[in-house]
Amino acid sequence: MRSILITGGNGGLGLAIARCFLAQDSETRVWLGVRSNRARAEELAAEFSGRCLPVDLEVTSAEAWQSAVGKILETDGRVDVLVNNAGMHRDHLLATMPDEAWHSVISANLDAVFLGCRAVIPTMMRQRFGRIVNISSLSAVLPPLGQTNYAAAKAGVVALSQTLAKETARSGITVNSVLPGYIDTEALGGMDAEARKNAQRGIPMRRFGRPEEVAAAVCFLAGKDAGYITGAALKIDGGIF
């Protein structure tokens, strides 16, 4: 049995990744790390009773990580895959960005990845096996105006992943990052019709990506066939960059 932990397990992308893993292997158990707004995570857990379980996880808290990983180890005895998917953005021009907007975005998008990786690495090293996939963003390499905090955090995720990949390669652990562009999830829900059209004109494929397309890449990178891929930064952006 594979034991998989996905943070941000109540959002569209996290749920799509969970469904991909659950469909891929009937021997897989998926843990959905959630802090609040648990309804969608609980619906998926009910659909896959016993194979999908929510677990309380405030990703910016080292203690919460230890508690969540401890619960998974108590139940499954192992952690095979970590997908660091939770994140948030608070856009401002740097000149007017409040301190809190900077620190909260760095904490949710970068500190959380550090804490999550550190929490599972000892177990994965003892297992001599592990897969870590960190969800970054196209903003890491093609940052838009108003996202100095988010772009800096997501670029940090790529660098963290590449460094950790070197540190853990001899232990049978791979660490990769995925950089989605415009993906049609609730994160784009605030865009009006005209803004959506303008955004799509800038995408060579002329459409937004689907959560399932990102999920497929994550599931591949977390699988046995991707055992020689580590330190990669995979863009999923319809050809923007």
By annotation, the residues acting in catalysis are 150
Q: Are 114 and 38 in contact (CB under 8 A)?
A: no
For residue 222, which of 50, 2, 1 has the smallest C-alpha distance?
2
The CA radius of gyration of the chain, in Å to the nearest whole number, is 17
CB atoms closer than 10 angstroms to residue 1: 12
